[in-house]
Amino acid sequence: MKHWMIALVVAALALPGMAFAGQKATTIDELAQMFDASRCKACHGEIYRQWETSHHARPLMGVHGGLKDTPLAMAGATPWSPEHPSEATLETFPCFKCHLPQALTHAEDSVAAEYAQALLDQDRRKIGQLKITCIVCHNHRAIIHRLQEGEPEPNVLYGTRDIPNHPDPVFTEIRQSPVMKEPLYCGQCHGVGVNLEFGNPVQCATLYGSYQHAYIPAGGTQSCQDCHLYPKKDGFADHRMLPDWNDTELMSQRLAESLSLNMQAMGYEWLRAGGDRPNRLVIETKIDSKAGHRIPDG
């Protein structure tokens, strides 16, 4: 019987999603395992390689490996900060709302306490396990109108078309998502600005708000997906989901394509008083943006 129990545990760990349905992770390792999508690369190798280079694969790492949440774990540094990392809870980290949404539904406070200690230790290996994986986007966050459409089903992935027989031991079906191609889908995280639901409001991403309130009223017609997931490669969207702020050369190229800078300079002498003729320089600049939202933002 003991050997059978060990075998069942090993099988459960090999099949994230189904094995942990209705359960909550108590450690970072458990949460990472629950949403691990590494087996997806067996069939979707190129898509998986693209995703591995994206910011979604390192949502808590910041740019160039910086651990952006570190102040939240430092006693007295922010209104959220606990006196000791062991006292951290999921509410300590408002950034989880978008940077690790699965923690809010599938983790205990002990995961937050472990995360706080990892931040103080600057343990990039441990923190790097926490990712926005295929399962997060194609199951956990794939349905928005849940009162009408229900919760995501545990054995279903959601995409741009129906595939009734999906060769996976857990996610055996793919259903067409009504929002996967819509800007609203991205707006769940790349949002409208201030998050007023927290005890201390947090000013964060405003991309979707900027898109809705400026780009669309000005006559814009493209969606987030048109610019950041397409054009398609070999029939599939580009899952790098550019931009990549770690790639300085590529970022410079994309910014140059989106922003134009016009500058005029005029020099003159200013006669303030007899014999006093200081030089003056007036520079007029104008920046035009072709992007669908304000830059920079998140």
Q: How far is CA 90 from CA 71, 105, 108, 180, in A?
A: 15, 10, 8, 28
62: Cβ–Cβ under 8 A, 6 or more apart, which residues? 68
Q: How far is CA 45 from CA 37, 93, 244, 268, in A?
A: 12, 33, 20, 62
- Tokens, residue 255: 């910014």
Residue 34 near residue 15, CB atoms below 8 Å: no
Q: pLDDT tens for residues 129-138?
A: 999 999 999 9
Q: pLDDT tens for residues 57-77?
A: 999 998 888 999 999 999 999
Query: Which amino acid, residue 37?
Result: A
Q: pLDDT tens for residues 10-35?
A: 344 445 554 456 789 999 999 999 99
Q: pLDDT tens for residues 248-264?
A: 999 999 899 999 989 99
- Tokens, residue 76: 């007295």
Q: pLDDT tens for residues 221-278?
A: 999 999 999 766 677 899 999 989 999 999 999 899 999 989 999 988 877 777 777 8
Q: pLDDT tens for residues 78-126?
A: 999 999 999 999 999 999 999 999 999 999 999 999 999 999 999 999 9
